[in-house]
Structure 1
Amino acid sequence: MYNLLRQKSQLKGWAAGLMLMIASQQVSAQLRDDLNLPDHDTKKYYLGIGLIYNNSRFQVSQHPSFLASDSVMVVDPLSTGGFGLAGMHTLRLSPRFEVRAIFPQLLFAYKNLIYHVKYPDPNKNETAVMTKRVESILLGLPVHLKFRSDRIGNFRVYMFGGGKIEYDLASNSTARKAEDLIKLKKYDFGVEAGIGFNFYFPVFILSPEIKVSNGLSNIHSRDPNLKYSSAIDKLNSRMIVFSLIFEG
């Protein structure tokens, strides 16, 4: 009798385990049925397009002769908004890692410098506080390594980091009549890092992401003969970029 009761309890345990396994398989199957784009994660390569808003400014390093100057007292950077458009090319390396190249990336970036002038020249329409607006049209190639989390239903989070190279189509480094200009070099390179979120819809993936993009090179083409240029030694670009990416 003891053996029979033992066998019955074992059978009940096996039956309960089997029922739990069947139930979990049914739930998993139901979840798979509710997934949007279930085959997307098996793609080796896919494309996307990004709509971009950027907030840009300069990091200013003053020239050693700045203290000896009696014309420009203070130079302050001011953050300004811009916009852009980008193409996304993503290569899947593993379930966790992807490589993404962004090309072409076209950014319209605006950066302001606020000058406090001690002796403004009224003949040149100068005031005690002058704002110099520096416009850039940046053709860039950022390359990122992405680390992705597990997919939770139709949601996933990812982080990324990498580098960039940019060419300024609006560079004025060769301008001759540049008395009131801040000259910028054509090329810049830097590092980028950020975080994004994948939202899976039936026909596309929407990925809002934010990143910090810092230039490493000095993009200031200094001219010691110009008042607004001679006070500055180095200009490094600083940018916060928010993107809405559509992928399929």
Structure 2
Amino acid sequence: MYNLLRNKIIRNINILLVFLISTCFFANTSTAQLRNSLNLPDNDDKWYHIGIVIMGTSNRFQISQHPRFLESDSVLVTNPNNNFGFGIGGMHTFRVSNRFEARVVFPQLLFVNKSINYHLRYPESSNQETEVMNQNVESILLGVPVQLKLKSDRIGNFRVYMMGGLKFETDLSSKANARNAENFVKLKKSDYGIEAGIGFNFYNKMFILSPEIKISNGISDVHARDANLKFSNVIDRIQSRQIIFSLIFEG
């Protein structure tokens, strides 16, 4: 009986050892397979990485009328239009923690066109006939957005994030100091504003592709008002409004 009991205990110990060894082997194999299935598994541990941004924009003005507008006998209505543009930039990302990253887009170049529709009364018309005149304002904006990015947990090769921050821009084609400017609204060179958006990280074998959409609103008044110009004196403040869709390629 003693020999039988001892053999049974030894057999149970052997079974337990086999089970533990098999479990450890399976766990190690599963971990290795999971890691092998991840693209760029060590990318999140980098303190800095660089990328390229390609942007498409929807642009418009936010207009506040001047009290002179009510006194105008030629300009009846001013309406901002939605226009499209594009841009490119360099993305610089710095790791702050497992959840947060700081980003700087520099340089950022946006080629945008904004326009205003003016409804004008014919100066010699007695029956209130009007015409519509479209005033285009073309800009080349050199900007430096500074953003803080909040990341979700990584699910396989996918992640969601939100971002927000400030932007600083200068208009390289500003006509604020131009003479003979009767045919356009003049804008100041500098602008600043706030940005907020959401994006998605898709981890590929060689890079991370991140489609992103954000709202970018100017805070400052960019209107260089000229009281002597009929297209300018009826407007008080002009602020920029943009919706930017970006494709970001990061290594």
TM-score over 0.5 for the alignment?
yes
Query: Hey, what does 2:168 align to over in structure 1?
Result: 165
Q: Give the counterpart letter for 2:175 in structure 1.
A: N
Query: Hey, what does 2:52 align to over in structure 1?
Result: 49
Are residues 1:142 and 2:145 paired? yes
Alignment of 1:1-248 (within 5 A): 23-119=26-122, 128-248=131-251
C-alpha separation in 2, matches of 1:13 and 1:215: 68
The alpha-carbon deviation at position 26 of structure 1 amounts to 3.4
C-alpha separation in 2, matches of 1:173 and 1:189: 17
C-alpha separation in 1, matches of 2:80 and 2:245: 21
Listed one character per residue, the Cα deviations across residues 96-119 of structure 1 (whole Å, up to 9, x for unaligned) are 100000000000011110110012
Listed one character per residue, the Cα deviations across residues 163-199 of structure 1 (whole Å, up to 9, x for unaligned) are 0100000100001100111000000000000011111
When structure 1 is superposed on structure 2, of 20-29 and 237-246 the one drifting more is: 20-29
Q: Which runs of 4+ in 1 moved over 2 A?
A: 11-29
Q: Tell whether the 8 Å contact from 1:120 to 1:128 is kept in structure 2 after alignment.
A: no
The alpha-carbon deviation at position 221 of structure 1 amounts to 0.3
Residues 38 and 65 of structure 1: CA distance in aligned 2, closer, same or farther (over 3 Å): same
Listed one character per residue, the Cα deviations across residues 24-76 of structure 1 (whole Å, up to 9, x for unaligned) are 55333211111111111110001000011111000000001111111101100
C-alpha separation in 2, matches of 1:116 and 1:33: 64
Percent of aligned positions with the same letter in both sequences? 58
C-alpha separation in 1, matches of 2:244 and 2:32: 39
When structure 1 is superposed on structure 2, of 187-196 and 19-28 the one drifting more is: 19-28
Q: TM-score, normalised by structure 1?
A: 0.89
Listed one character per residue, the Cα deviations across residues 101-158 of structure 1 (whole Å, up to 9, x for unaligned) are 000000001111011001268xxxxx70000011110000000000011111111111
Residues 105 and 120 of structure 1: CA distance in aligned 2, closer, same or farther (over 3 Å): farther
Q: Give the counterpart letter for 2:244 in structure 1.
A: V
Q: Give the counterpart letter for 1:175 in structure 2.
A: A
Residues 229 and 154 of structure 1: CA distance in aligned 2, closer, same or farther (over 3 Å): same
The gaps in structure 2 that reach 5 residues or longer are 6-11, 125-129
Aligned length: 239
